[in-house]
A and B are shown apart, each in its own frame.
Chain A
Amino acid sequence: MSTDSNTMFLKIEFGGGLELLFSNQRSHRITIPSTVPADNNTSVTTKDAASPATRPADVTYLLHHLRDHLLKEREELFMENGTVRPGILVLINDTDWELEGEGEYLLKDGDEIVLISTLHGG
């Protein structure tokens, strides 16, 4: 678990073929700041910004973070209009993110986020 109160530790899992976009690695452990820029800019920290509008880190920020720092190829297959592309499911601590407020869910230290693609055929 994270020792710094300004950051939080998360476990990310990819399934259903989505891992192919993330260097074919199914499980990732990442650290993100607890407070993030309101515009989801993942290249600056809240400390750098001149007059930062900030908010607590939520799933929407996490998606931007994954896109900017972990995604290796074909961004259009992962995100669309600021959220995950239709056909990608998100589980937050083994629960459908639709029950948790989707992108507005405020992340907590130690949360486990699973992203599963349904686009690999049937």
Chain B
Amino acid sequence: MSCENPSVDKDALMARRPKFDKTKQCVKCKERTGNVVIRHAVYCKSCFFPLISTRFRKSLEPSVNPTPDGPRRKALKASGSLLVGLSGGLGSTVMLDLVAKTYFGAPSVADLGEEAPPSKPKGGKEHPRNMTGKDSEIWRGVPAVCYVEVCGAFPGAEDRTERVRQVVESYATTSPPFAFDFIPLRLEDAFDLEWWKGVGELLFTPPPSSTPILALQAYLSSLPTQTAIHSATQTLVRLLLLYTAASRRASHVLLGTSLTSLSVNLISGIAQGAGFSVAEEAMEEWRGEGKSGELTPPIRIVRPLRDVGMKECAIWAWWCGLRIVGRERYLGGTQGIGSLTRNFITGLERDYPATVSTIARTCAKLTPKEGSDGVCLLCQRPAQHGVQEWKSRTSIRSYNHASFSSSGHERPPHLANATDRPQHRTEPSPSSHLTPHLCYACHTTLTSRSSRGNVKQTSDSKVVPLPLWVGASLSLVPTSEDSSGEVWATRRMGDGEMKAAIGDLLLNDS
């Protein structure tokens, strides 16, 4: 490599590497001139559609049957119905299109390329590859498309429900037609008793609140940072979809997270303390409490576009003429972790396209070192063991703590005038403390302040409403006393005391 100064000597710059390998010919058919470059490989338009469709099926189908049937899958048969999450954004719109075309009789993927579909399907019409959802009945019942409108959280945002409904209903006019059930939800439903009565059981008396939308706004305004608002919104959407899926006895929830979005979610999740649930970000299985209070059958959350980048999604949407409604993307302002990560990954994808898939592949190899300590009540993902104990050792938990006050230190300047934050608790059971039942990421989201980008406190109330599933789960968990009535405490033991406690187990030196 040259060491000359590129600003003076133009020849000092290294020659720009082309974005594609070798020739402009399609790497698959090796006949036609390519139309698109995907991670350095060139594909023509005819080969592009089956390529994306195959990646989609490869990501989804191994998780359709409750137990994998090995490499030679005989038939796909899910244990419940299907729920597709649609945000109105690019990824989920493309995913809905792929679901409709692959399994529910919309014009097939083979018809999209320039090649005429083969007159006789390869492998025969009974081959699982050639079966559509309609004739193979992979999922039970009518599949549903669920949209969560988030405009209630962000004043001034547009309500896109009707435009999304039109996208879903457009599949009823294709040939052959297929009608999905459209389920429009709103973010404030997480605080709405009427919605909760439809999906869960009311085992507790919720705190009186004026309206769900005010409760939602009070909840979001109690969060300490802009990043936390973004993160909390994502969690609310995810849980609204999951409880709705459980109420429809769904076995699969499909989300349109593309490879690009998955990499953004992984990096920004790790940056916000969600490293323990890295595996769940790509694929997870969830069991909720049903109306009778028992655990529902497991629901698999699958992201079938996790091997398809945002570029491929955009080209699919363009060539298929899909209408992208767009979504309200609140990433916590320009300095929010979500926004910074998305900008970074989008730039990385343009300059070094293969690196983005490396992020997802590397994260797929990660497993937590320690086991799980139950499920977080807020996000309902596995929570790490001993989080609070670890936090208490590594961080300053309270400025009002006696030993801290006596040390004579003052509060940092940005917190000098700060009053105590309202406590997150659920009435009317003040004895139930929420903190031990949260994962590290949710606890951080609710409590971690920042020296910049703090949200202005608008609510005077000391009681902040929580999503209804938190109250429902909190009413079921035991309090600090365990079932035998014992109370556990942790304290430091002296050497002598420790030796006495284990004395019977020690071996003699002789």
Which residues of A pack against B, CB within 8 Å? 15-17, 86-87, 89, 91, 94-96, 98-99, 102, 114, 116-122
Contact = CB atoms under 8 A, between A and B. Distances in A.
Nearest to A17: B326
B142 interface: no
Contacts of A94: 35, 45
Given A16-B314, A91-B318, A120-B326, A98 B20 contact: yes
A87 B89 contact: no
A97 B258 CA distance: 22
B96 interface: no
A32 B345 CA distance: 34
Contacts of B327: 120-121
Contact of A16 (B19, B42, B324): B324
Interface stretch (B72-80, B346-354, B368-376): B346-354
Interface in B1-35: 18-20, 24, 33-35
Interface residues of B, number: 40
A119 B346 contact: yes
B260 interface: yes
Contacts of B313: 118, 122
Given A16-B90, A89-B315, A91-B318, 11 more contacts: A17-B324, A87-B310, A95-B34, A95-B36, A96-B34, A96-B37, A99-B34, A116-B318, A120-B89, A122-B89, A122-B258
Interface of B: 18-20, 24, 33-37, 42, 45, 87-92, 256-258, 260-261, 305, 310-311, 313-315, 317-318, 324, 326-327, 329, 343, 346-347, 349-351
Nearest to B44: A95
A122 B261 CA distance: 7
B291 to A, nearest CB: 33
Contact of A118 (B20, B37, B90, B351): B90
A83 B132 CA distance: 44
Contacts, number: 91
A15 B257 CA distance: 20
Contact of A98 (B37, B257, B305): B37
A9 to B, nearest CB: 22
A89 B313 CA distance: 11
Given A17-B326, A99-B20, A122-B90, A116 B314 contact: yes
Given A16-B318, A86-B347, A98-B20, A118 B35 contact: no
Nearest to B350: A86
B324 A87 contact: no
**Which of A91, A114, A118 has its CB near the most chain B CB atoms (within 10 A)?**
A118
Given A94-B45, A96-B35, A122 B315 contact: no
* Residue with the greatest number of chain A CB neighbours at <10 A, chosen from B34, B256, B315, B343: B315
B35 A87 contact: no
Nearest to A89: B314
Contacts of B256: 122
Nearest to B40: A98
A116 B256 CA distance: 19
23 contacts: A15-B318, A16-B318, A16-B324, A86-B350, A89-B314, A95-B33, A95-B34, A95-B35, A96-B315, A98-B20, A99-B20, A114-B318, A117-B314, A120-B324, A120-B327, A121-B88, A121-B89, A121-B327, A122-B91, A122-B257, A122-B258, A122-B260, A122-B305
